[in-house]
Amino acid sequence: MEKSGSIDSLGSKPSSSRQPSVDSLSSTSTSRSDRSAQAKPPSALSSDSVSTSTEFSPELRVKPKAAAKKAHRDSDKEEPQLLPNETVQDMAHDITYFCPFTGALRGTVMVTNYRLFFKSMDREPGFMLDLPLGVVSRVEKIGNASSRNDVSYGVVCKDMRNLRFAHKHLEDTLKKSVFEVLMKFAFPVSNGLQIFAFEYGQVFPENGWKVYDPISEYKRQGIPNESWRITKVNDQFELCDTYPSTLVVPVNIPDEELKRVAAFRAKGRIPVLSWIHPESQATVTRCSQPMVGVNGKRSKEDEKYLQTIMDANAQSHKLFIFDARPSVNAAANKMKGGGFESEDAYQNAELVFLDIHNIHVMRESLRKLKDVVYPNIEDSHWLSNLESTHWLEHIKLILAGALRIADKVESGKTSVVVHCSDGWDRTTQLTALSMLMLDGYYRTIRGFEVLLEKEWLSFGHRFQLRIGHGDKNHTDADRSPVFIQFIDCVWQLTRQFPAAFEFNEYFLVTILDHLYSCLFGTFLCNSEQQRLKEEIPKRTISLWSYINSQLEEFTNPMYVNYSNQVLFPVVSLRHLELWVGYYIRWNPRMKPQEPIHQRYKELLAKRAELQRRVDELQREVTNRSVSSSSERAGSPTRSITPVQTMV
Amino acid sequence: MFSAKPMKPTFRSYLPPPQTDLKSNIEPPVKLEPKFLPGEIVVNEANFVRKCISTDSSQGDLWGRLICTNFKVSFIPQDPPPKQKSQLSHLLLGQHDISLTCLEQVVTVNDTRGKRKVLGSNKKLKFNPAELILYCKDLRVIRFCFDEAGPESAKKVCLAIAHYSHPADLNLLFGFEYQGLRYHHYKGDLVNGSTPRGGIQTPIFDCPSDWDREIKRTGASEWRVCSINQKYIISESLPEYIVVPVSLTDQDVKSYSLSFNDGRVPLWCWNHRNGSALVRMAGSTEPLNQRKTEQKIFTAITKSHPQRREVTVSDLDKALPNIQDIQSAFVKARQICTLDPFEESEERWLSSIENSRWLEYVRMFLKFSAEVVYSLDGKNVSVILLEEEDRDLNCVVSSLVQLMLDPHFRSLNGFQSLVQKEWVMAGHRFLDRCNHLKKNENKESPLFTLFLDCVWQMTNQYPAAFEFTEAYLTVLSDSMWIPFFSTFLFNSSKQCSQVLQDFAKNKAIPPTEDHTVIFPPVWKWSQQFSSRDQTLFNNPMYVGKGAACVQNGEVKSFQRSKKAFSSTVRISSTSQRNGLKGEEDTLQRRGSLISGLRGDFSPVKDESPAERFFRDWFSHPADLQGVLIPLVLPSHVVLWKLFFLRWVLEACIPKGGPATVYHKVSQLVDEIDTLQSKLRQYKGASPHSTPVPSPSGPPPGQRRMYFKASSADEPPTSPNVLNSSFPFNPVGNLCRRGVQGTPISKFLNGAKTWLSTETLANDTF
């Protein structure tokens, strides 16, 4: 326990109330990467960006001692401490940054192969902006800013903010603007450069690439068992190049038959097991749409296969197929050869459409949301503006779908098959969320990492396409905030069940920040096959290496591990909220960070200190009574039993 | 009559209702008998009445006796369902009881055509009612069906309920009967106990000493208690003792009072450590002479300011919604939250909430109050809150400002004294605004509820800054509808003392007896709840005064906070707490160094000083024992779910909600308390060296947390019983109009059009 001192002082200092301890972090300060903590003097500087978005402001997380050192360093006008293998590419003075919250600031811009760094000492306290280049969606040269001589640039970011800079027109036409250098390094893929994750050389105590091992995860679930087996048919990604090499399928279906089923499923994504109920054996399986087409094609093998999945669960004589799409979209897919299972062909199966819209609708919805929340929220019509983005409605539909799946499996003891069109966007959201509701393991930090590695990464959610790492083609129709939406749904669950998750809000925000940062290899590429080909685990660092090396920071102190608790959230707009801690965090008027957690940690420290003192006194008394046992037969020692700890 | 197969619930399309969860930790059923208080008499009753439990089906409905007394509507189920543990239980009202004062509207429904009739006092009913729907002021909607009851007795009981819920006179409220009997019954105890004021620790502000103490506490040395309004000779609505600038004589006060509505001379509320005062003032009766009088008073207030600062007048009537606006916003919010069918209102939920304007008003009051805080704290000027009558909006704003500025009011007793001072004594018309006599709906307005919502917003944003919980705030709002407390029954302290004088005479109580003893205020919580249930009021996260004292002992942390706040005029907590005055008031503004650093390019040209004040404040960690400013971004003022949704079963999160946090923190704090008492045990010889957990805490041996840490002899409460309505039970407390009956209504239910037409509107025929 890093806190010490008198009982009276513990947990009562307002000044410390928002200063989580970071002792555990001091060794990793250089690794704190894009949150730019390494360069943030806690009191000398502030900014509207990462550092003052009070919610997760690193300045509040730095030790006072380190703070003093950094403040000193800053007064020497030192630049941010660079990451291993990070190199300065260009620097320019006299740049104006138009902060949407506090007005224009003049300062210096530095561009490295990893970040854009702006610093201004215009104002007290000073101001810094530290932006990993991976966050940049596009850079635009905007004609003249305030005067003829100015050149202005807009930087549109993937994380809900836009930045605007300007500098004087350059006399020397041969010299490149710092923002042209920025454009080059912000889009390494388009410019034949390497993504920074391949260069980042930080060493962490833990290797995050070892977090997920499919065999042990399936073993945890009790697989293989009499009905399900692990197959290596996809070992070389021959069956399906977007699936992982390890798959779980019904025992009764030989590998040869799997290939015929694959022929009938879009992109060969056959139904495979994601999760099995430890008691009822009801399963969650995932796949892509059947290739029914306009003529209503059927596949005996596929029909048999689903029947086998149903039969594997003795408790129920029904199988639910959850098609994530609106029925209209599912029907429209027949024109492209796809479609959905007809209940005639699949006896004992019931098909349910979950009405979740496609990636294009979601992208548009988030774009609207950005308009509503950034940079400022309009004073009037906040809720109707929010409603008009439909963002929460989409969140609701996704959660509602996951809830129905979880309910069928838990309460109905019925196996379910989940698919959309390709089975890598909406399907992933649904299986991962329902597994989070059903299985408390996934609500731990490591369990959640496993969940992401398994359902999202190994099953081929196309992160590269959906995020567009290092790619300048910002209008690419394949980009979509599917994963952000999922994390938002997880956050909604943590709001309804504040004690059911081992991780805190900061954990979720950190994952989203590194979804874009390109500092870690975790979210690079589109599939397991590609990741192996690019040797991602060899050549990059896993995000989990960073996170698992400082778990304290990401831990929810309120966590209670109730075994076998299934979460049934209330999926209603009455309880769904906009995640202000993520979407509105750039606003300097944001809510202070998790005060309840902070307070709880203080109370824990206080209890530990009291316990220590009670123990001490008890020992004293015991010693005394031992030395003069005849004297005090009925001493208070008897009545004092240590208080049971329940953390 | 009932279909054997339970109807599919429509209110939650994804899951069956979570009743199984709610029943998991329950006590065995006990045969219920009607319970009556002293003086309570049965007026009418009907047997074989069915109380509806769920909106959509008759599953779980209870059969029993419906009783109307002169105090309450009571339902005695034949086979009571097992009672839930971990649920607040009221000492005066049973689980199925409703105080008559709590009834908002009594509606009967005709069986054949489903026509509704709103019943008032002495109304006639031409049909035999099939259903009785009771719309309650605490947002419950309770529904009884008479399908098996005798038609005549059903009609009679409905008419009795309607009649007795519309008392012709204040004296007829059951509280007068009850308190009279209680006084005589317990007289012996009261005398023997010899606790002053019936054991109530909250200052009532009906005597000069309470005001004197407040003057001293806030260091308002240039203000004095003035007794000119004794016997209410200058104003009918002001308290008998008021605080005025020392430079004004009693005669001045008396002559100036003539210029103000109802003789309400400006009333001192609170003093900032820097010398600025918060004053509330009514409008004028004679606009011609007004300026002169005002000037004289302003001069006197200026004189009472150590820096002789000019006063600032804030006109609330111009800036804030009026009482009718607030009433209509509340009615709409209630409609959306509790009456509109759940699933149908989902789609337009956000815009409906916005259209009610309730949150907008909450935000306006918070924002306005924060601006007053800026004047008092940031500009160091005295502020006069001006409202035509000084009895409504001023109550909300003056109390919010003090809550933001003074940590004392964030303690439980401090908060109660604030309500006593700025609401009860300042003459808020509780009787009219609550419309207890149901005489004039135009005067009804939920100002106090609005205030509680504003307070909740602050507790939501600063969960460790308040000693009380949201359950406390909710229970306090519910207490408005129980006619036993002097707090919410009168329009002014004058009316209170007059009515209670007559009351004492009628009940043969000695006229010298203290009002708080013969007719206690709500603050005597033991009237309503057991001491265990009262622990639900204690916020385990509270960082109290005791803690802050220690903080100042620590030089290091103190320096840090000083540095952090150097750019504001924030006063450090030392001076505030120790009652010292002055030395911290030398404001540490920004040094000139900054302007040196700032180049010719001024980055923020149009930031006002107020904006800078707020930006500064928010850029530092909040000192919970210092000034507390709420965030008033539209995204940060949110619906108070416990208050608005606690009865809505569909919105109840099983095993979740804020209660799970409360449970966890309470257990930890209970452990800490236990350890602390052990330490005291060890150090029994030197009690002065050990800290006391809470100065306002219960006597030793009584634990202050509702949830206890697990110990050998006491297993921990399972959090599985918790849900988002805790400590309230939604089951059976919100039955929207159901669809039992004709096939056509069932069909309409399928089409989801039937329910949406139901409103609280007076669709009588």
pLDDT, position A642: 42
Q: For A610, which of B355, B645, B675 is closest by C-beta distance?
A: B675
Task: Name residue B144's beta-bridge partners.
Answer: B51, B132
Element (H, E) at B116: strand B116-119
pLDDT, position B597: 28
* DSSP secondary structure string for all residues of B256-291: HHTTBGGG---EEEEE-TTS-EEEEEE-BS-HHHHH
Q: Is the pLDDT of residue A484 over 90?
A: yes
pLDDT, position B188: 61
* DSSP secondary structure string for all residues of B606-652: S--HHHHHHHHHHTS---TTS-------GGG----HHHHHTT-GGG-
pLDDT, position B695: 37
pLDDT, position B116: 87
pLDDT, position A44: 29
Q: How confident is the model at residue A93 (pLDDT cuts 50, 70, 90)?
A: very high
Ligand-binding site membership of A423 (annotated): yes
Task: Return mean pLDDT, chain B.
Answer: 82
Task: Return mean pLDDT, chain A.
Answer: 85
- In a domain, residue B571? The reply is no
Residue ranges of E strands in A324-424: 349-353, 415-419
A387 contacts in chain B (CB < 8 Å): 348-351
Q: Report DSSP state, residue B221.
A: T
Chains A and B form CB pairs within 8 A to the count of 276
Decide if A632 touches B, using CB distance below 8 A: no
Q: How confident is the model at residue A146 (pLDDT cuts 50, 70, 90)?
A: low
- In a domain, residue B37? The reply is no
Whether residues B160 and B260 fall in one domain? no
State pLDDT tens for residues B149-186. 998 999 999 999 999 999 989 999 999 999 999 888 87
Is residue A402 classed as helix, strand or coil in its secondary structure? helix
A616 contacts in chain B (CB < 8 Å): none
State pLDDT tens for residues A602-622. 999 999 999 999 999 888 888
Decide if B354 touches A, using CB distance below 8 A: yes
pLDDT, position B688: 46
Cβ-contact B521, B420 below 8 angstroms = yes
pLDDT, position B31: 64
Q: Is the pLDDT of residue A368 over 50?
A: yes
pLDDT, position A594: 61
Last residue of a domain, one of B166, B188, B216: B166
Whether residues B157 and B242 fall in one domain? no
Last residue of a domain, one of B504, B536, B568: B536
- In a domain, residue B628? The reply is no
Whether residues B340 and B400 fall in one domain? yes
Structural domain spans, chain A: 81-186, 208-590
| Distant-in-sequence, close-in-space partners of B662: CB < 8 Å, separation ≥ 6 | B469, B540, B707, B726
Q: Is the pLDDT of residue B628 over 70?
A: yes
Task: Name residue B118's beta-bridge partners.
Answer: B107
Cβ-contact A334, A411 below 8 angstroms = no
- In a domain, residue B587? The reply is no
Cα Rg of chain B (Å, integer): 27
State pLDDT tens for residues A9-68. 333 333 333 333 323 323 333 333 333 333 332 232 333 333 333 333 333 232 333 333
Q: How confident is the model at residue B28 (pLDDT cuts 50, 70, 90)?
A: low
- A-interface mutation test, from B462, B550, B694, most A Cβ less than 10 A away: B550
State pLDDT tens for residues B224-252. 999 999 999 999 999 999 999 999 999 99
Q: Which range (A140-144, B44-48, B549-553, B653-657) has the least confidence?
A: B549-553
Q: Count of H helices and E strands in chain B?
A: 26, 14
Cα Rg of chain A (Å, integer): 27
Nearest partner of B667 among A557, A1, A7, judged by Cα = A557
Cβ-contact B140, B730 below 8 angstroms = no
Q: Is the pLDDT of residue A364 over 50?
A: yes
pLDDT, position B135: 96
Q: Is the pLDDT of residue A158 over 80?
A: yes
Nearest partner of A35 among A52, A17, A20, judged by Cα = A52
pLDDT, position B234: 96
Instruction: Check the CA dihedral A434-A437-A440-A442 and report its sign.
Output: positive
| Alpha helix (H) residue ranges in B406-527 | 412-419, 430-434, 447-461, 470-479, 493-506, 515-518
Tell me whether strands A88-99 and A162-168 are parallel, antiparallel or unpaired.
antiparallel
pLDDT, position B712: 60
What is the domain count for chain B?
A: 2
pLDDT, position B517: 86
Active site (catalytic) residues of A: 420
Ligand-binding site membership of A558 (annotated): no
- The mean pLDDT value for B503-507 works out to 91
pLDDT, position B680: 87
Q: For B14, which of A12, A403, A614 is closest by C-beta distance?
A: A403
Q: Fold for domain A81-186?
A: PH-domain like (2.30.29)
State pLDDT tens for residues B368-380. 999 999 999 999 9
Q: Is the pLDDT of residue A335 over 60?
A: yes
Surface of B (9-38) touching A: CB under 8 A: 12-16, 18
| Distant-in-sequence, close-in-space partners of A578: CB < 8 Å, separation ≥ 6 | A373, A386, A391, A392, A584, B635
Cβ-contact B385, B398 below 8 angstroms = yes
Surface of A (552-581) touching B: CB under 8 A: 558, 560, 562, 565, 567-575, 577-578, 580
Ligand-binding site membership of A384 (annotated): no
pLDDT, position A548: 97
Residue B468 C-beta-side C-alpha neighbours within 13 Å: 24
A260 vs B621, higher pLDDT: A260
Residue ranges of E strands in A179-276: 228-231, 247-250, 272-276
CA B344 to chain centre: 30
CA–CA separation, A217 and B170 (whole Å): 71
- The mean pLDDT value for B577-596 works out to 29
Q: Which range (A465-474, B27-36, B704-713) has the least confidence?
A: B27-36
Last residue of a domain, one of B136, B166, B196: B166
Q: Report ipTM for this prediction.
A: 0.86
Surface of B (669-688) touching A: CB under 8 A: 669, 671-672, 674-676, 678-679, 681-683
Ligand-binding site membership of A168 (annotated): no
CB atoms within 10 A of CB B216: 11
A123 vs A641, higher pLDDT: A123
Ligand-binding site membership of A1 (annotated): no
Cis peptide before B727 (omega within 30 of 0): yes
Structure tokens at B411: 């303690």
- The mean pLDDT value for A301-323 works out to 95
Domain of B114 in residue numbering reads as 42-166
Task: Name residue B384's beta-bridge partners.
Answer: B279, B313
Decide if B564 touches A, using CB distance below 8 A: yes
Instruction: Check the CA dihedral A132-A133-A138-A143 and report its sign.
Output: positive
Cis peptide before A375 (omega within 30 of 0): yes
pLDDT, position B621: 85
Q: Is the pLDDT of residue B51 over 80?
A: yes
- In a domain, residue B660? The reply is no
CA–CA separation, A530 and A244 (whole Å): 11
Question: In one letter, which amino acid is A372?
Answer: V
- The mean pLDDT value for A141-163 works out to 82
